[in-house]
A and B are shown apart, each in its own frame.
Chain A
Amino acid sequence: MNVMGLTGMQWGLVIMVLLLVLLALRMHIGIAMMLAGSIGYVTMAGIDPLLNHLKNSAYARFSVYDLSVVPLFLLMGQFATHGGLSKALFGAGNALIGHWRGGMAMGAVGACAGFGAICGSSLATAATMGQVALPELKKHGYSSSLSAASIAAGGTLGILIPPSVPLVIYAILAEQNIAKLFMAAFVPGILAAIGYMIVIAVVARLSPGDAPAGDRLSWGERIRALIRVWPVLLIFLTVIGGIYGGLFTPTEAASIGTVATAFVAWTSGGLKGKAFADCVYGAATATGMIFLILLGADVLNVFLALAQVPGEMATWVKGLGLPPLAVLLTIVVVYLILGCVMDSLSMILLTIPIFFPVIMGLDFYGMDAESKAIWFGILALMVVEIGLITPPVGMNVFIISGLAPGVPMKAIFRNVVPFLVSDIVRIGLLIAFPSIALVALKL
């Protein structure tokens, strides 16, 4: 099909450039996708098919069964925050390893990982752990920029460790099994937490003044601190164990988690007065933001499919005869650049429809289609998550600097660098050894 003498692929590129211009000019991301997609679609097929599509597309998009986990996970994260679970987690991490040099910051990273296990969002993880841990770290003489950087980085564990909202979106776009993707994210998520702890240990050795050792607690105190985190453990085991074990669907698991965290928040007095409304407003804002982008991406993807961009792009890349790893590294670099200016979910929605067919058309280590799809999903998740802590718009760093007044953003970004190194190393390992992600599927 030709538009003004351009092939579908060329017209698709014109529209993508238009989209980037609209994005740069401060248009809401979902609406920019909708506008660019509509222009492309109408010029190719006329206005009636688009109007016809819009009759049912909103309901069709919002009523996808698997997507219902998104608002549930977000609500669950809000309840968990109000239920004081972040405090219990930090207390436990602290009790166990706080007496090591840099141990309290490591404990905070561990607590982030724990909170990430019941929360699907990085910003929520960074915000709640920041509120709990920053004052404590300060009290014990940790430098504020190291504490802030540790929690900003630790916050990214929120989406890396399942449940993970961007991974749900990837699963739907790539038509993959959510349970398997969650399982595959588990080992890389633990590796990330360990990597961050190693970074803190190294920093603490190099400049001991930044990260003194905390108090050593008795085993009795440790056990009491651990007992306080049992709700987290129970909720995590039920939700994730249930999904892994195939006992219930992700939506059912998220429902259990939502009711359970609401119960914990309620019994701990965290849902008194306006608190329930605040939980709902918090979850509502995040949900609305995600689904408007989904709606826009739907229109854009309908256009891209009509212009046959994904298929032709895949054929074109395959025809170049480049080594598959070179293509993959290019994609990783594109993500790192986009991540500097865009949020992770928009990146996934914008790029997966194009990158996914490209990756699937190439051969990596002779993997079968499903393994390749899962491996690439985890890889993409890890790479886009880096955007949360890279300048100039690292959202996690923004949040933390809002919680730690007096700490310049630059100082946090400088202290984030070692954590970025650990991220890059982990991404390199995952590219070289896909089994890091796939091993959990073979158990």
Chain B
Amino acid sequence: MAEALIETDALPKPEGVALWLFRASQLFALIAGVLLVAMAVMSLVSIVGRAFFSKPILGDYELVQMLCAMAVALVLPFTHAVRGHVIVDFFTAGAGRRAKLVMDMVANLVLAFFAFVIAWRVTVGLLGLRDSQDVSMLLELPTWWGYVPFVPSFALLGLISVWHVLKDVQALGDGASAGARR
């Protein structure tokens, strides 16, 4: 298995700032798609070059590694925007709506925490690599280039988590007031 089951109907409709976060995550995912296709075409050209002209693209391995890492980092926010990061919901299937909302809120808080921590740590790592002028073996590309998309991507992942937290809090409030009216 490789995908989460996504019930698009159950997703909260983004509006206002959230809509911009959602659109940003879509844009990141599309950039990732383009990077992946570019990477595939590059590999293909390299194979053809190697097979027919015994001249592969120099440093194709390095490019694949860097492009793939960038693309993967860029898709993380979109996956979360459509609530595609999997959870085990078997044990809580029978729990009440409010209990589930509270648990989801906590889970999203923890996710936001780690996303922001990683965004911060990757920035530190990036600056360190830039200062030490670390470069790749064949193409001598600066290693820190690969780190660049990680920073906005993990930050956006954190923000989308915060959005989910706010949605959950709001849903809890709605439930409470609906209960009071009844």
Interface, chain A (partner B; CB < 8 A):
23-31, 34-35, 51, 54-56, 58-59, 62-65, 67-68, 71-72, 74-75, 120-124, 159, 165-166, 248, 251-252, 254-256, 258-259, 262, 276-277, 279-293, 340-346, 385, 387-388, 392-393, 395-396, 398-399
Question: Chain A nearest CB: distance from B73 CB in Å?
Answer: 6
**Are A58 and B150 in contact, with the CB atoms below 8 A?**
yes
B65 is an interface residue with CB less than 8 A from chain A: yes
**Are A393 and B90 in contact, with the CB atoms below 8 A?**
yes
Mostly helix, strand, loop or mixed at chain B's interface? helix
B residues 54-85 in Cβ contact with A at 8 Å: 61, 64-66, 68-69, 71-73, 75-80, 82, 84-85
A282 to B111, CA, bound (A): 22
**Are A255 and B40 in contact, with the CB atoms below 8 A?**
yes
Return chain B residues, CB-CB under 8 Å to A385.
1
Most chain A CB neighbours (cut-off 10 Å) among B4, B100, B128: B4
Q: Give the B interface residue count (CB, 8 A).
A: 66
B47 is an interface residue with CB less than 8 A from chain A: yes
Other-chain residue from B33, B37, B65, B114 in contact with A284 (beta carbon distance below 8 A): B33
A423 to B4, CA, bound (A): 23
**Are A259 and B2 in contact, with the CB atoms below 8 A?**
no
A123 to B5, CA, bound (A): 9
B32 is an interface residue with CB less than 8 A from chain A: yes
Most chain B CB neighbours (cut-off 10 Å) among A166, A248, A259, A289: A289
User: Contact flags (1/0) for B84-116 with A, using CB distance below 8 Å?
Assistant: 111111111100000010011011001100100
A166 to B1, CA, bound (A): 8
**Are B37 and A30 in contact, with the CB atoms below 8 A?**
no
For this complex, 13 residue pairs linking A to B, each with C-beta atoms less than 8 Å apart, are A27-B106, A62-B73, A65-B61, A68-B39, A248-B47, A255-B41, A259-B37, A286-B84, A288-B75, A288-B78, A345-B2, A385-B1, A395-B5
**Are B44 and A255 in contact, with the CB atoms below 8 A?**
yes
**Are A159 and B1 in contact, with the CB atoms below 8 A?**
yes
Return chain A residues, CB-CB under 8 Å to B44.
252, 255-256, 259
Other-chain residue from B1, B65, B69, B88 in contact with A395 (beta carbon distance below 8 A): B1
Return chain B residues, CB-CB under 8 Å to A292.
76, 79, 85
Other-chain residue from A56, A284, A290 in contact with B32 (beta carbon distance below 8 A): A284
A68 to B30, CA, bound (A): 17
Return chain B residues, CB-CB under 8 Å to A30.
85
User: Knowing A63-B146, A285-B84 touch, does A258 contact B40 (C-beta < 8 A)?
Assistant: yes
**Are A252 and B43 in contact, with the CB atoms below 8 A?**
yes
Nearest A residue (CB) for B60: A252
B residues 5-56 in Cβ contact with A at 8 Å: 5-6, 26, 29-30, 32-33, 36-37, 39-44, 46-47
A399 to B107, CA, bound (A): 25
Most chain B CB neighbours (cut-off 10 Å) among A31, A59, A259, A286: A59
Return chain A residues, CB-CB under 8 Å to B104.
26
**Are A26 and B69 in contact, with the CB atoms below 8 A?**
no
